[in-house]
Structure 1
């Protein structure tokens, strides 16, 4: 195994070594003998295996045992400063160029065991079901395509309208009156011909209308309009299939997104089980909101925020670069507070009938 140094900088201050990889924070390492600085300097010259590293350090007058070097490399890996050289690129120049930024992002989380290309491979092999390609959904499709998701199934029943143009940038004037999923799929194919796209022009009236779409799907994202219970239908279909779900939306001044990890987290049915006491003002307000008909206040910048947040949470499920942040919780961003975020966990409902539908998980061997 050859070890590679990530893109970092350092400076000696007294007996300490100050190292910066992520510009938002610095790492202070005790280095009275200068061994860590010497190791970083050798690694900066290029990737090396352990034997070559020891030889290069020895040429600098720094003698270390194999055990010391192994411990030092593990320590640097734990700090996110080194990774396995063989996993930095795919070896296909066209793929490496296309995914240059994606690989660089994954490099933030790679180490000696998990490679940048491991993350990218999972994305390129993934099948994502996108529910709705309108407001947030159109931006979501663009984010998923940029990540290079290998297969997309796009579901929607609407046609392109002039009023969509304030927030849906997949579409053009010539698309007015045409199927959104067909035009969205055409955009994806033109953007990246390597992405396989399937379209489903369907009105969803219950969880059974999604059952045939979940087989072989790694992730369900987006959301459906048209009925107050549409989110619960999607939730039930996802939990039954054991497929992670990420959804989001916005009111006039509040963005939010949520995710469900079937069998591991609470689900949307748990969230909606939390009802205010009958006869109270809160209950009346809930009823008013539930039955309210409003014009859509969603503008482009807000729609793009929703789409990107859903895509990023979905990426956590697909690759594991981080644990999902919104699993069993609603993450809210308040427009009135400059998009200040808060996380509100779903209530604990031990006897949730929908959660009980999740298939048993098989432990990885």
Structure 2
């Protein structure tokens, strides 16, 4: 009986349901935040701006943390149940408690640990963000250096439903920077090979494949009408400039967030247009761009890129998609990374 009581006090705390409307939960200190004693305070998430929180260093606080970590029995504390509950509630309000079971064998365990680290709200269940990802439907247009890699990253993140669009076939040059393709895929349709690749990651993934070039806004509009996706990602570079404008207009019309990503040799750009919240990509580039007069005739820009750049761009875009879907640390900003000078630029996208 005593051992059972110890287990109960170590891991389970019953709150006053009528007063706080909080159900019985297995609350514990977030392991990801690793509390440390620094200069007279107990610091959680030490050294990470925006994540770091602190409480007073006191014997009582240390004892409560030990109880919540299963190192000490609740019955050994001399405070009242009400005082104990108030202390635990304060820790919960700081976003320091969790019901994460840290099951290392669970497929998404590392994801969930990451969400726990990121979440500074009073939510105690980090798995809710994984469920949001699993339920999300993402449209990706363009399966080249960025789009193909975005598909892989989002599949590993837990996205279960994709609509992918591209009319291109794989050639040998794609193998240097597009991670979903292999030598034996040369000559085959990109949509088919991407589907096969991400289904190897998770056989439960659903893929709507469209082997088509989007030549007009009406072509894209039909996609918006037919597929009930949650967010769209434009990784296509043609029709040049026009396609981003189409996405702007249709994202507003259908009230769906749209992410645009690109690279130009050593520069990576990513932008999320969120209807009713941000300016459009056209407005952004109109503000930041400058008129240019071409010097030489009959010259076109030749793609100059290496795999590290395409993977960084895809990672940045995928991270932005993650933040929009989960709303964890979502910021209405455009990001530009200049790899040549190792500079990062941010642009506020909020409507004025």
Q: 1:302 to 1:178 in 2, by over 3 A?
A: same
Question: Which position in structure 2 is the counterpart of 1:125?
Answer: 135
SS at match of 1:135: coil
Q: Could you tell me which of 262, 271, 279 is aligned with 2:284?
A: 271
Question: Which position in structure 1 is the counterpart of 2:16?
Answer: none
User: What displacement does 1:304 show?
Assistant: 0.5
Q: For residues 36 and 313 of structure 2, what CA distance do their matches in structure 1 show? A: 40
User: What displacement does 1:309 show?
Assistant: 0.7
Is 1:314 matched up with 2:335?
A: no
Q: For residues 292 and 65 of structure 2, what CA distance do their matches in structure 1 show? A: 63
Question: Which position in structure 2 is the counterpart of 1:333?
Answer: 337
Q: How does 1:82-101 map to 2 (within 5 A)?
A: 82-83=97-98, 85=99, 88=100, 97-101=106-110
User: What displacement does 1:29 show?
Assistant: 2.6
Q: How does 1:281-296 map to 2 (within 5 A)?
A: 282-285=290-293, 293-296=300-303
Question: Which position in structure 1 is the counterpart of 2:78?
Answer: 62
Aligned residue pairs total 320
User: What displacement does 1:64 show?
Assistant: 3.7
Q: 1:89 to 1:151 in 2, by over 3 A?
A: farther
Question: Which position in structure 1 is the counterpart of 2:113?
Answer: 104
Q: For residues 63 and 177 of structure 1, what CA distance do their matches in structure 2 show? A: 72
Contact between 1:89 and 1:117, CA under 8 Å: does it hold in 2? no
Contact between 1:21 and 1:81, CA under 8 Å: does it hold in 2? no
Q: For residues 299 and 273 of structure 2, what CA distance do their matches in structure 1 show? A: 26
Q: For residues 253 and 199 of structure 1, what CA distance do their matches in structure 2 show? A: 31
Is 1:342 matched up with 2:345?
A: yes
Question: Which position in structure 2 is the counterpart of 1:39?
Answer: 64
User: What's the TM-score, normalizing by structure 2?
Assistant: 0.82
Q: 1:113 to 1:10 in 2, by over 3 A?
A: closer
Q: For residues 261 and 21 of structure 1, what CA distance do their matches in structure 2 show? A: 30
Is 1:4 matched up with 2:20?
A: no
Q: 1:255 to 1:9 in 2, by over 3 A?
A: closer
Q: For residues 198 and 64 of structure 1, what CA distance do their matches in structure 2 show? A: 58
Question: Which position in structure 1 is the counterpart of 2:21?
Answer: none
Q: How does 1:297-308 map to 2 (within 5 A)?
A: 297-308=304-315
Contact between 1:270 and 1:347, CA under 8 Å: does it hold in 2? no
Question: Which position in structure 1 is the counterpart of 2:90?
Answer: 75
Q: How does 1:155-234 map to 2 (within 5 A)?
A: 155-214=165-224, 215-228=227-240, 229-234=242-247
Contact between 2:140 and 2:232, CA under 8 Å: does it hold in 1? yes
**CA deviation vs aligned residue, 1:167-223 (integer Å, no higher than 9, x gap):** 101101111111011100110111210111111111112222122323411010132
Q: 1:246 to 1:89 in 2, by over 3 A?
A: farther
SS at match of 1:333: strand
Q: For residues 11 and 168 of structure 1, what CA distance do their matches in structure 2 show? A: 43
Q: 1:303 to 1:18 in 2, by over 3 A?
A: same
User: What displacement does 1:319 show?
Assistant: 0.9
Question: Which position in structure 2 is the counterpart of 1:248?
Answer: 261
SS at match of 2:140: strand
User: What's the TM-score, normalizing by structure 1?
Assistant: 0.79
Contact between 2:244 and 2:282, CA under 8 Å: does it hold in 1? no
The alignment's C-alpha RMSD in Å is: 2.8
Q: For residues 246 and 292 of structure 1, what CA distance do their matches in structure 2 show? A: 30
Q: For residues 300 and 181 of structure 2, what CA distance do their matches in structure 1 show? A: 26
